[in-house]
Structure 1
Amino acid sequence: MSAFVRRLKEPNAMADYETRDVSPRFVLAVALGLFSSMALSILLVFGILRWIVPTTEPSATIFGDRQERAGPRLAVSPAADRDEVQREAEGRLQGYGWADRAAQSAHIPIDRAMAILAIRGWPDQDGQEEGKR
């Protein structure tokens, strides 16, 4: 019988371990080295971030200083915001007001503008109205 078969027949043959395997001390040393290098890296990053913190207030953006520094503006109620925009648009379409007061340009309700165009006609390119030729 071979030595291998003889060892398998012995009752405590499987309880042995290979002495050629990696030693537990080496595994422990590698694990401790890995964790200590990670901890050192984290401390190094925190140190660098603490060292490069800006000390002055950020400069104005290309949009001016209109942006609030408190954080993002969130839509708390999108439906209410949409309704408000819709009311403002309807008021502009259905009401009278100045578009440009310096140029004496006003806006009028759409229904009134359509009635005026129906009576006078669409102006041609010369600036004369069609109905007065």
Structure 2
Amino acid sequence: MLGGLAAGLIGTVVVSLLLIFPQAARDENRALTTPMPEPRLQTDPAADWQRYKAESMSRLAGYGWADREHGIAHIPIDEAMRQVAGDGIPDWPADARQEGRR
């Protein structure tokens, strides 16, 4: 009798779940429809780092266009710092300039 009651309860639960979630009983392909891209691994991280560092230092120490279309160029950072130290920053409060020289 206890086995029959357990079997009836299990059957009721299964039927109830199938009625509540009818899409769960369907056999659907849920695989990705687009292929995953292959990983792009670094083959020589040290050389990549050296190349990045050289490009960055070249940009910091050289002249070039930041935005040629709008006429914006970049200058070497040392020269830019000299110009800012000598001329100051436009629209910078005069009191702040004096505090920095104390």
Give the superposition deviation at 1:52.
Answer: 4.2
Give the structure, 1 or 2, with the largest relative contact order (CA under 8 Å, sep 6 or more). 2
Q: Does 1:119 align with 2:95?
A: no
Q: Which amino acid aligns with 2:87?
A: R
Aligned to 1:58, which of 27, 30, 34? Answer: 34
Q: Which amino acid aligns with 2:58?
A: G
User: Which residue matches 1:23?
Assistant: none
Q: Which amino acid aligns with 2:90?
A: P
The Cα offsets for residues 40-79 of structure 1, whole Å up to 9 and x where unpaired, read as xxxxxxxx8xx9497xx738xxxxxxxx94x211111111
Q: Does 1:77 align with 2:44?
A: yes
Give the superposition deviation at 1:118.
Answer: 2.1
Structure having the higher helix fraction is 2
TM-score (norm 2): 0.53
Query: Unmatched 5+ residue regions in structure 1?
Result: 1-47, 60-67
Measured in 2, the distance between the counterparts of 1:105 and 1:113 equals 14
**Greater CA radius of gyration, 1 or 2?**
1
Measured in 2, the distance between the counterparts of 1:122 and 1:52 equals 63
Output aligned runs, 1:1-133, within 5 Å: 52=29, 58=34, 69=37, 71-124=38-91
Query: Aligned pairs, how many?
Result: 67
Q: What RMSD in Å do the two structures reach over aligned CA positions?
A: 2.9
Query: Unmatched 5+ residue regions in structure 2?
Result: 1-26, 98-102
Q: Percent identity?
A: 43
Measured in 1, the distance between the counterparts of 2:92 and 2:83 equals 18
